[in-house]
């Protein structure tokens, strides 16, 4: 079957294609950035997990070594599905890594503490 597409309809079609491509690119980009689900506060919050603190260490280490040049740390997804991006600029590395150090000391992960000590030397 052959359809006649007028110029207006063709523009709508192109807009839809461009929109789809942009969403696809965004989804591909987002797949490289971890997502953390916010499910309460305190010991249940995303920021109180090994995965989150491991991400901070990996992120800072990769930025300092030049493997990446990024400020987007992760995405937080709230219980209602709202997606928020969390950025970690270089000027906040020390503060963030010190909070991770507290977390690893509390959880007795001393190998990570050694790693943080080395990263702190690079940050200064």
pLDDT in tens, 91-109: 999 999 999 999 999 999 9
pLDDT in tens, 51-92: 999 999 999 999 999 999 999 999 999 888 999 999 999 999
Q: What pLDDT sits at residue 28?
A: 44
How far is Cα of residue 117 from the mean position of the Cα atoms in its chain? 23
Q: Which two tokens stand for residue 45?
A: 């919050």
Q: What pLDDT sits at residue 45?
A: 76
90: three-class secondary structure by DSSP: helix
Q: With contact defined as beta carbons under 8 Å apart, do 59 and 71 qualify?
A: no
67: three-class secondary structure by DSSP: coil
């Amino acid at each position: 079957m052959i359809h006649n597409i007028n110029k207006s309809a063709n523009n709508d079609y192109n807009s839809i294609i461009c929109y789809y491509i942009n969403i696809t690119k965004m989804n591909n980009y987002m797949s490289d950035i971890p997502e953390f689900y916010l499910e309460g506060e305190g010991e249940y919050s995303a920021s109180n997990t090994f995965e989150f603190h491991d991400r901070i260490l990996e992120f800072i280490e990769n930025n300092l070594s030049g493997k990446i040049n990024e400020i987007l740390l992760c995405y937080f997804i709230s219980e209602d599905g709202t997606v928020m991006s969390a950025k970690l600029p270089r000027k906040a590395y020390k503060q963030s890594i010190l909070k991770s150090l507290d977390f690893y000391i509390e959880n007795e992960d001393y190998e990570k503490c050694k790693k943080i000590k080395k990263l702190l030397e690079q940050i200064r």
